[in-house]
Amino acid sequence: MLKLGIRSSKRRRRGKRTDRFREIVSFSLMASYLCGIAASAQDLSLVEQKVHKLSDTVWWVEPVPAYGGNIAVSAGEDGILMVDDQLMPLTDDIKEAVASIQEGKIDFLINSHYHYDHAGGNAAFGEDSLIVAHHSVKTRLLERREAGFNFRDEPHPAEAIPVLTFKENVTFDWNGEDIDVIYLGNTSHTDGDVVIFFRESNVIHTGDQYVNLNGYPFIDLPVGGSATGLRDNIGAMLAMIDDDTKVMPGHGPVTTKTELQAYYDRIAATIDIVEKQKLAGKSLEEIQETGLPEEYSKFTGFMTIPTWIQQVHSSLID
Ligand SMILES: [Zn+2]
């Protein structure tokens, strides 16, 4: 069990409710598409940002309920570095939560990937913060993509676009530790997922390559995501961390290497099950009809089993 101090950010009513309505409606549609969670405008206005201290310099900002992604914050004498920013309607509360950790501007904002529920708040931070991301995040934001086949009507404002991009890794020497931002070599949940490893604190933010909601991952196939790539990247994460590492998933509670290993095992086993049937000449529909054995079919807290089978099937090279 992780022992965490919890503080809630002060809630306040936000203005511009009509402006927010369109964003919220489109968010609801995509949330339904992505993870089966339908959020109404009222649901989103009820999201609270809870602040948990994970080390001397690293905090977890947890949206409750988990419609936006988990945020990691490094705060200390060098300043503030933040990972992910959820959705635009939640950014006032996020700023309040970060200020409750440490006052001052957010120097660096890292996007774990391009999806609207992780990088959707970029425009609210980009004037003050240097946005850092894998190069493909910039590409996807410039093509107005929000997730999969969902696109924005309008371009993102210039301040939402990452300024500093990279294709492999970048390291921050910040608040007394190395903070490694690592592309693990395979397209995965998307085509530009990174993990952020706070080395001294022994905290890793996995982005959505790991979603801790008792289910299978979502694979963004339209941008070249891959179930087998995700499996291999999770394997690489497991090789980097130890039993004391605090593992912050894209959504859901902070957990341990043991849980990440169980997630890997489940993904690897179900990919094997689908692959064997595909190699035996079964159609996707037949494999979906057969389904997964009971020990694997009970994990339905995120994607449905037929969707996971379809995403695995599409990821396997013929
Ligand atoms: Zn995502």
Would you say 69 and 86 are in contact if contact means Cβ atoms under 8 Å apart?
A: yes
Cα of 77 to ligand 1 centre, how many Å?
A: 31
Angle at 78 between CA 72 and CA 97, to 5 degrees: 35
CATH superfamily assigned to domain 6-315: Ribonuclease Z/Hydroxyacylglutathione hydrolase-like (3.60.15.10)
Would you say 218 and 302 are in contact if contact means Cβ atoms under 8 Å apart?
A: yes
The helix or strand, by DSSP H or E, that contains position 76, with its residue range, turns out to be strand 71-76
Q: Nearest CA to 115 among 176, 67, 182, 54?
A: 67
Cα of 205 to ligand 1 centre, how many Å?
A: 13
Going residue by residue through the chain, which has 318 residues, state the pLDDT in tens, using 9 for 90 and above: 333 333 444 344 343 433 333 344 344 444 444 543 445 656 788 999 999 999 999 999 999 988 899 999 999 999 999 999 999 999 999 999 999 999 999 999 999 999 999 999 999 999 999 999 999 999 999 999 999 999 999 999 999 999 999 999 999 999 999 999 999 999 999 999 999 999 999 999 999 999 999 999 999 999 999 999 999 999 999 999 999 999 999 999 999 999 999 999 999 999 999 999 999 999 999 999 999 999 999 999 989 999 999 999 999 986
**Lookup: tokens for 283:** 């159609």
Q: What are the backbone dihedrals phi and psi of residue 241, each rounded to the nearest 5 degrees, phi first?
A: -110, 175
Cα of 55 to ligand 1 centre, how many Å?
A: 26
Cα of 184 to ligand 1 centre, how many Å?
A: 16
